[in-house]
Amino acid sequence: MQQSLEGKCAIVTGAGHGIGRASAALLAQRGAAVVLADRNTENGAAAAQEIVADGGRAAYVPCDVSVADDCRRAVDTAVETFGGLDIVVNNAGIIRRSTVCDISDDDWDLVMAINVRSIMLMSRYAIPVLAGRGGGSIVNIGSGWGMSGGGRAVSYCASKGAVVNMTRAMAIDHGEQGIRVNCVCPGDTDTGMLEDEARQLGEPEDAFLADAADRPLRRIGQPLDIARMVAFLASDESSFVSGAILPVDGGGTA
């Protein structure tokens, strides 16, 4: 049976679309109250409204995850609205496809701010609250390209490699507080980000998606595929899992 998340509260970043939206919806379906943090007000508010319309508990908070005050506000919203915080899903991310010779300073800094700095900031404010509740679960969304390299994606690979090793370090630092920290590494997943990559590279979308499906399971991932792993790591079913780097990629890293 699926582990209930009744009585738990989660923050999901980048919750207005893709993997974040699917994760927020699934956590809510399993009983958690969810704070959806996203800088896109229209998408974030709509995702929260969908959860409420389905009978769940949700609140949307505008949040640029690279800004400390916004991350603090998201944690404060969880505490003030739902009485605490037990789960953090650090999902927000972007990609800029380029080599080290081509990438601009601004794009490099932006990728690092959204993909790496955001996890540090959100965790900085969340961990004392989790510890005060006796522990909790932090799920960082990495990438298969955090475990191996990829072409024309140097900033993304660097950022997701950082996420992978940050996860290990955080698991070591905060295990004594009862806080588990794990990393889910999706393969190519059917989201707007994947479509945006095709545009950045100037490749036909259909051909790009077909190439992304060239893996043992012969398909790209769906956001729900990743959300199911997130929900497992958020639940007590994974109570002895911490510091793990878990690919969910249809066999791509194999």
Q: Could you give the residue numbers annotated as active site?
A: 156
Using CA atoms of 143, 48, 191, 254 in order, give the dihedral in degrees to the nearest 10. Answer: 30
Euclidean distance between the first and final Cα of the chain, in Å?
A: 29
Count the neighbouring beta carbons within 10 Å of the beta carbon of residue 199.
Answer: 11
Residue type, 230: V
Closest alpha carbon to 85 in 136, 17, 47, 159: 136
Written as six digits, the tokens of 143 are 């990438």
Helix (H) or strand (E) holding 88, with range, is strand 87-90
Measured CA to CA, the distance from residue 15 to residue 92 in angstroms comes to 8
Written as six digits, the tokens of 128 are 């004392």
